[in-house]
Structure 1
């Protein structure tokens, strides 16, 4: 893992969230890691609708899990989610908004940039 990981613009990936502390590596970034194996690549702003959708798919992100140092998410929290889960939510019409500067470039292998851009929170 390094600061060399790139976002969808080809720039160094920016922090997603330190509070709550996110990322597969719990470093605040949606990094893939040295082998590109981590899939928590999309920095989102959680919504009640998305949290309910994720829970219905077997991934409860809203319930605290202190044994894993996971506080549980609330609407408005920023969080790195699995790329395939975002695409699944997108296809179901439940996709949350994204921070493109904090979303890993590997996401472009799953979703065209034009589609991601429609959900962007950080474009001027």
Structure 2
């Protein structure tokens, strides 16, 4: 299956989110997506202790390693391609995982308004200031 166009929420080329740990639906370091990615793993978010706790309590334990799947477990400071719906659920509950706008796929805009992402941007892009 082919990847969707590699554009970020700012309209530029999609940047790498993380290679250590290697993230993305395709585990290629980017928040690439296509029709097979039903969870829309398109938000490049910087993990925080609060976000990891929220996610675990919501049924998605991202902090515990799962060696049989090559998953190292995440720590505060790691970047990860999050499901758009889980990121929004946390944000709506007041739990913020800062967003790398350059590495967040434009598909997220189907679920999350640009202004919500921008309010949580780790570094505000110049053209949006």
User: Which of the five TM-score ranges fits, normalised by the shorter chain?
Assistant: over 0.9
* TM-score between the two structures when normalised by the length of structure 1: 0.93
1:60-91: CA deviations, max 9, x gaps? Answer: 00000000000000000011010000010011
Give unpaired runs (5+ residues) of structure 1.
none
| Contact kept? 1:3, 1:12, Cα under 8 Å | no
Task: Point out 4+ residue stretches in structure 1 off by more than 6 angstroms.
Answer: none
User: In the alignment, which residue of structure 1 is the partner of 2:24?
Assistant: 23
User: In the alignment, which residue of structure 2 is the partner of 1:13?
Assistant: 14
Aligned pair count reads 123
* TM-score between the two structures when normalised by the length of structure 2: 0.89
| Contact kept? 1:18, 1:28, Cα under 8 Å | yes
Q: CA RMSD, aligned part only? A: 1.5
Question: What is the deviation of 1:3?
Answer: 8.5
| Contact kept? 2:3, 2:33, Cα under 8 Å | no
Give unpaired runs (5+ residues) of structure 2.
none
CA distance in 1, matches of 2:47, 2:112: 19
- After superposition, residues 15-54 of structure 1 pair within 5 angstroms as 15-33=16-34, 35=35, 37-38=37-38, 39-54=40-55
User: In the alignment, which residue of structure 2 is the partner of 1:91?
Assistant: 92
